Amino acid sequence: MKRAIYPGSFDPITNGHLDVAERALRLFDELVISVALSEGKKPLFTLEERVEMVQRSLDGLPGKERVRVTSFENLLVDYAESEDAVAVVRGLRALSDFEYEFQLALLNRRLNARIETIFLMPRGTYMAVSSRMIKEIARLGGNIDEFVPPGVRDRLKEKLAP
């Protein structure tokens, strides 16, 4: 069985994240979506809230029975090794993503050459979508319906309500 880790802060998970997960499921037998603690990013949602939102967002995902949602706080390659994963999946939206992700992939390869990094691009519809931008649009009262699952939209509204 080929297992991949799809790590991220998922603060919150977006339809772009879900699109990358769907693409990864075409390549791997099992996908572990792993929510990173990411305290350095000062997330809007707690780790537990982010894990719950990811789990609830899987409803419409083809192959969701092959997805497991976890969280992790340690070094990614150590976590991937503990999960017996063969790869780490990373989404790329723009050239700036590639530069950052490429550096991480090279460092991860130095730390554990057994774990490959696979870059996947979301559909063009989601190329400009990021969690940071979604939070800003929601904060300013904009419509985020096409960018996030309904449950995430509702949680954002609750969290950002005055």
Active-site annotation, residues: 17, 41, 93, 131
Inter-axis angle of helices 150-160 and 131-139, to 10 degrees? 50
Compute the distance between CA of residue 48 and CA of residue 57 in angstroms, rounded to an integer: 14
> Over the range 138-148, which residues count as b (16 or more CB within 10 Å of their CB) and which as e?
beeeeebeebb
Q: Distance between CA atoms of 21 and 91, rounded to whole angstroms?
A: 9
Distance, CA of 123 to CA of 110 (rounded, Å)? 31
